[in-house]
Amino acid sequence: MSQNPATSVIDAASVDAAINSRMSVRAFLPDPVPRATIEHLLRLAARSPSGTNTQPWKVYVLQGASRDGLVEKVCAAHDALRADPSLAAVYKEEYDYYPEKWVSPYIDRRRENGWSLYGLLGITKGDKDKMHAQHQRNFRLFDAPVGLMFTLDRIMGRGSLVDYGMFLQTIMVAARGHGLHTCPQAAWNGFAKIILPHIGAGENEMLVCGMALGYADPNDRVNGFHTPRETVESFTRWLE
């Protein structure tokens, strides 16, 4: 792989297409993903930037029995949490992914995202059974054959989460070049006490997030859901 700064990207349109076609897929086909392909994606992601080249990422790839076993454990815990909300004290995220207090415009975008998805799926406000079932689709990896779990050494600072974001994005964009799709999932974080022992993570590691990887089911309506994006003008200020 050339790392010459003078190297040109010949097919810029394909790079743009990979970025623009990345989406959070919520229904996958059961088709297996070759190990060589997964290794290739991770090898590309290893080129992601990190502060002073710390490369803080650690990846656990779950397929077959290891994948199915984790799905079974976490789905059972998710059901138990619904039956006994006091278990929320046990199943707690190690770091705050979302704010403690929501304000506009972020709460507005969150609500639009949630109700647009539920509307597409025919889930009405107050239908707790269907909401629970849909939320649990996260813990079934949306039927993807590959689950990725990402951890970080607790000794690292918050800046390493910035590094991690670039690493995750590289995996997701690279996956598009191989006809694959992904869904990054913070939903797993609350069940780290189950996940970390299952994957064999060390006591010094914390769960950053999970990710589903596989081939998208083109016939499932949920994959017709595309989230809107703000315009460049709305989030950019030009200074001259």
Q: Rounded to the nearest 10 degrees, how much is the dihedral formed by the CA atoms of 188, 191, 197, 199?
A: -10
pLDDT tens digits along 147-159: 999 999 999 999 9
What does the pLDDT read at residue 9?
85
pLDDT tops 90 at residue 66: yes
Is the alpha carbon torsion for 164, 191, 26, 58 positive or negative? positive
Question: Which position has the token pair 């800046």?
Answer: 159
Q: Which of 33, 11, 14, 6 is nearest to 212 (CA)?
A: 33
Query: Residue 12, SS3?
Result: helix
Mean pLDDT score, 164-191 = 98
- Residue 26 burial (10 A CB sphere; 0-12, 13-18, 19+): buried
pLDDT at 29: 98
Find the Cα–Cα–Cα–Cα dihedral 34, 38, 41, 46, rounded to 10°.
-150
- Residue in this structure with the two tokens 């079974």, named with its chain if needed: 72
Tens of pLDDT, residues 178-207: 999 999 999 999 999 999 999 999 999 999
Rounded CA separation 222/218 (Å):
9
What does the pLDDT average to over 43-47? Answer: 98
Measure the CA–CA gap between 122 and 120, rounded to whole angstroms: 6
pTM for this structure? 0.94
The whole-number pLDDT of residue 136 equals: 97
Region 87-108: what's the mean pLDDT?
95
Question: Region 223-231: what's the mean pLDDT?
Answer: 95
Listed by start position, the domains of the chain span: 22-96+138-225
Nearest to 95 by CA among 196, 163, 190, 204: 190
Summarised one tens digit per residue, pLDDT across range 205-215 is 999 999 999 99
pLDDT surpasses 60 at 1: no
Extended beta strands in the chain, E state: 58-62, 146-153, 181-185, 205-214
Contact 222, 118 (CB under 8 A): no
Fold adopted by 22-96+138-225: NADH Oxidase (3.40.109)
Q: How far apart are CA 110 and CA 8, in angstroms?
A: 38
Top-confidence residue, 3 or 204: 204
Average pLDDT over residues 41-62: 98
How high does pLDDT run on average in the chain? 96
